[in-house]
Amino acid sequence: MDNDRFCPACAAPLVEREEAGRMRPVCSKCGKIVFYDPKVAATCVVEREGRVLLVRRGNQPGYGLWSMPGGYVDRGEVVEEAAAREVVEETGLVVEVGRLVGLFSESGHPVVVAAFSATETGGALEAGPEALEVGFFDLDGLPEMAFPRDPLILRRWREMQGGG
Ligand SMILES: [Zn+2]
């Protein structure tokens, strides 16, 4: 998952070595250990009349499959603002970000997804440049989803609706 080949400090080649409990890239010249941080992404579950907003992805991974609108949080960006930004970029809808549905991560995978519930406040539904299609779907009639976490996020969201 990590493919840097050269030291960020001195540009000498990196080698894999056990450091601080696991195999990590280490500089062959200056000894700098490279620690990879998780990547944070944010996504929103936006509901309209009992259906949820989905985007048919125009990017890999998951090209042509469906997911909730979302994307990477920029360093220094407020996570909720990133979530709202991704919704308007991909679907044209302006939303107010509400409660955290949960944090979703997988062993061996660099991405941590923060999923929020969000409410429409404006805009007009239109697929953005990175989306092939956008639409609202019944939870019982979902199209093929891009990521294994997507059904988990929607299930958790539905449980939250039921529980108040
Ligand atoms: Zn170095």
CA of 22 to the centre of ligand 1 (A): 19
Q: Is position 133 annotated as part of the catalytic site?
A: yes
Residue of 16, 106, 126, 133 marked active site: 133
Q: Is the pTM of this model over 0.85?
A: yes
- Residue 1: the pLDDT is 44
Going by pLDDT thresholds of 50, 70 and 90, the confidence category of residue 3 is low
4 vs 60, more confident: 60
- Residue 20: the pLDDT is 87
Q: Please indicate, yes or no, whether residues 29 and 77 belong to a single structural domain of this protein.
A: no
Q: Please indicate, yes or no, whether residues 99 and 159 belong to a single structural domain of this protein.
A: yes
pLDDT digits (tens, 9 = 90+) for 84-110: 999 999 999 999 999 999 999 999 899
Q: Please indicate, yes or no, whether residues 50 and 106 belong to a single structural domain of this protein.
A: yes
SS3 sequence of 21-54: CEEEEEECCCCCECCCCCEEEEEEEEEECCEEEE
Q: Where are the alpha helices (DSSP H) in 76-122?
A: 79-91
Total domain count, the chain:
2
